[in-house]
């Protein structure tokens, strides 16, 4: 893929994000439009770049679809708790898709994972667990989602990719985590000073993930070191066996 496409294509969702920011408009239809644009760009590039794309790269369009479904539940939930939990479940699948994509292109960054997980677990235990009006099922769903988010950020910081795409992926995951935390402040603690950042950080998270994939596909994929080492070892073992024979 020509590198200039990697720089031009992300400008399309970025334009939607900038316009939404200036208009302060983040409705359901606008959000779905952004997600469809990101799906079209990433899926189109993956089809065009089939030779260099990994199977795990397809999990990014899948993650966008999960976001779309999660937003459908959250935007239209009203007072229905089951729709809120369903939205959390679909966004949990988003993080699971992100995590699989990241871990397939790197490894867990355990120090980052430990710090982030520790901080968010303290937040959960101190602020959310004692809430008397928060059902147990919802607390369990939030805890699982929180742990998935931490795993995703840990895997993003452990990516073995070139610095531009790695930075885009880390920033995208970090902004998603920030947006999710802001939602918990609003929904469970009724603390709203950060509400102004909730949707912008979500939008730019989607845009950065799309940008990361465009950059990743702008140059030929390299085999993972572990796989190369495994093949070399297999050859050495076979050669040793032949010599012994």
What mean pLDDT value characterizes the chain? 88
Residue 96 forms part of a structural domain: yes
The per-residue pLDDT for range 136-172, each reduced to its tens digit, is 989 999 999 999 999 999 999 999 999 999 999 999 9
Residue 152 forms part of a structural domain: yes
Residue 173 forms part of a structural domain: yes
Mean pLDDT of 75-96: 92
The per-residue pLDDT for range 185-223, each reduced to its tens digit, is 999 999 999 999 999 999 999 999 999 999 998 876 665
Residue 173, pLDDT above cutoff 70: yes
How far apart CA 38 and CA 32 sit, in angstroms, is: 10
Residue 96, pLDDT above cutoff 70: yes
Residue 241 forms part of a structural domain: no
Res 234: pLDDT: 40
The per-residue pLDDT for range 28-42, each reduced to its tens digit, is 999 999 999 999 999
Residue 153 has which token pair?
A: 């950020």
Residue 51 forms part of a structural domain: yes
Residue 162 forms part of a structural domain: yes
Could you tell me what percent of the chain has a pLDDT over 70? Answer: 88
- Domain count along the chain: 1
Other Cβ atoms less than 10 A from the Cβ of 227: the count is 9
Residue 165 belongs to domain spanning? 3-234
In DSSP notation, 171-217 reads: HHHHHHHHHHHHHHHHHHS---TTHHHHHHHHHHHHHHHHHHHHHHT
pTM value is 0.86
Mean pLDDT of 66-73: 96
How far apart CA 103 and CA 88 sit, in angstroms, is: 22
Residue 236, pLDDT above cutoff 70: no
């Amino acid at each position: 893929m020509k590198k200039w496409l990697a720089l031009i294509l992300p400008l399309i969702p970025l334009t939607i994000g900038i316009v939404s920011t200036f208009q302060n408009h983040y409705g359901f239809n606008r959000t779905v439009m952004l997600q469809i644009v990101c799906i079209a760009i990433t899926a189109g590039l993956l089809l065009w770049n089939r030779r260099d794309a990994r199977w795990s790269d397809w999990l990014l369009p899948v993650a966008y679809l999960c976001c779309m479904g999660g937003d459908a539940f959250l935007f239209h939930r009203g007072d229905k708790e089951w729709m809120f939990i369903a939205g959390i479940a679909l966004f949990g699948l988003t993080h699971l898709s992100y995590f699989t994509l990241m871990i397939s292109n790197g490894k867990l960054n355990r120090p980052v994972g430990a710090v982030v997980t520790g901080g968010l677990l303290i937040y959960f235990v101190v602020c959310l667990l004692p809430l008397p009006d928060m059902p147990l099922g919802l607390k369990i769903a939030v805890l699982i989602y929180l742990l998935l988010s931490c795993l995703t950020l840990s895997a993003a910081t452990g990516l073995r990719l070139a610095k531009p795409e790695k930075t885009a992926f880390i920033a995208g995951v970090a902004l998603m985590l920030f947006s999710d935390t802001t939602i918990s402040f609003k929904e469970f603690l009724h603390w709203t000073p950060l509400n102004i950042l909730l949707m912008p950080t979500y939008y730019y998270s989607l845009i950065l993930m799309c940008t990361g994939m465009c950059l990743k596909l702008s140059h030929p994929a390299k085999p993972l070191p572990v796989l190369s080492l495994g093949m070399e070892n297999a050859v050495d073992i076979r050669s040793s066996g032949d010599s012994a024979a």
